[in-house]
Amino acid sequence: MSRVALTFYCSAHDGEAVAAAVRDRLHLPVHLSRQAVLGRDFGDAGTGERVAGTLTRMAVEVELPDDRVDDALAAATGARRRLPFRWRTVAIVDGGRVE
């Protein structure tokens, strides 16, 4: 079974709700980091973000077996949120813990 890092990119306002939904469904640690996105694709932006030209996003990341991605997507989709989110998976080739 392969492991992946699944990252959701959602509005900063929606980040906590998406993270809680994923954590509660999968019972795995979820990492959050705030991001500023400069760009021209404002399809996911709120009105204020379109005016400012900067999207404030939260990256919600969880490491999980690749066969649980659909479950995580269902949890995030069902979370109470205001705006759409984007997501991607990246294969984890190696990893571990150093003490």
pLDDT in tens, 58-85: 999 999 999 999 999 999 999 999 888 9
Residue 71 forms part of a structural domain: yes
Report the CATH number that the domain containing residue 22 is assigned in CATH.
Answer: 3.30.70.120
Q: What own/partner pairs with CB < 8 Å and gap ≥ 24 does 15-19 have? A: 15/57, 15/58, 15/60, 16/58, 17/79, 17/80, 17/81, 18/58, 18/60, 18/76, 18/79, 18/81, 18/85, 19/58, 19/60
Q: Do the domain assignments include residue 26?
A: yes
Q: Which range marks the domain in which residue 12 is found? A: 3-91
98: in domain: no
Q: 16 lies in a domain?
A: yes
61 lies in some domain = yes
- The pTM of this model reads 0.85
Per-residue model confidence (pLDDT) at position 64? 97
Residue 99 lies in a domain: no
Number of domains into which the chain is organized: 1
- Residue 97 falls within a domain, yes or no? no
Is 96 among the domain residues? Answer: no
